[in-house]
Amino acid sequence: MIVYDLECRTGQHRFEGWFKSSDAFLRQQERGLVSCPQCGSGDVGKAVQAPRLARKGNQLAEAAPAPRRQSPVPAAPTPPTPAPMANAPLPPQAVQMMQALAKMQAEALKSSRNAGESFVKEARAMHYGERDTETIHGQATLGEAKELLEEGIAVMPLPFAVIPPEQAN
């Protein structure tokens, strides 16, 4: 196994990718299979840093404590936030699954408007019929999300932070 520090050229998000070999990385990169877990961009390259060889053997034994749970709110209040990280190797299937998930989120949000900080206000206005409904996403604190749920307004946490378009460069 080889681990690369990768960087998406769209948003300069850094993340780690685990590959069988450097060839496997190049093949996956060529086919656009390597995508940024933060913004789903497939324009991913190696960050400027030498690759490290993953140690064989007791990787699992040295596994870190479970990563802290993200607050179940639509997006973090201070984007762009770093992606959740683990310092233990993830199985390639898990990495691929997360990349697929990031893509799916990006796909799903295409038809959704980023309401940013006014997400809570707008979601509430729609619920109470004060304005036309549409699909939006944005930021809410844990407390705000709870309030919305208590009022019967369906909100869902997103698996990955959403980078506002104006910060995506």
The residues of the shown chain that bind Zn ion, judged by CB under 5 A, are: 8, 11, 13, 36, 38-39, 41
**Of the two residues 101 and 125, which places its CB atom closer to Zn ion in the complex?**
101
Instruction: Answer yes or no: are the C-beta atoms of 123 and 155 closer than 8 Å.
Output: yes
Q: How far is the CB of 150 from Zn ion (least distance, A)?
A: 34
Give 23's contacts (C-beta < 8 A, 6+ positions apart): none
Cβ–Cβ under 8 Å, residues 123 and 133? no
CB of 94 to Zn ion, least distance (A): 19
Choose between 11 and 89: whose C-beta lies nearer to Zn ion: 11
| Closest distance to Zn ion from the beta carbon of 81 (Å) | 12
Smallest gap from Cβ 169 to Zn ion, in A, equals 11
Per-residue burial over 71-86, b if 16 or more Cβ lie within 10 Å, else e, is eebbbbeeebeebbee
For Zn ion, the closer of residues 79 and 92 by Cβ is 79
Kindly report the CA angle at 166 between 107 and 78, in degrees rounded to 5? 85
Dist CA 86 CA 59 (whole Å): 12
Least separation, in Å, of the C-beta of 46 and Zn ion?
A: 14
CB 22 within 8 A of CB 51: yes
The residue (of 36 and 155) whose beta carbon lies closer to Zn ion is 36
Residue (36 or 95) nearer to Zn ion, CB = 36
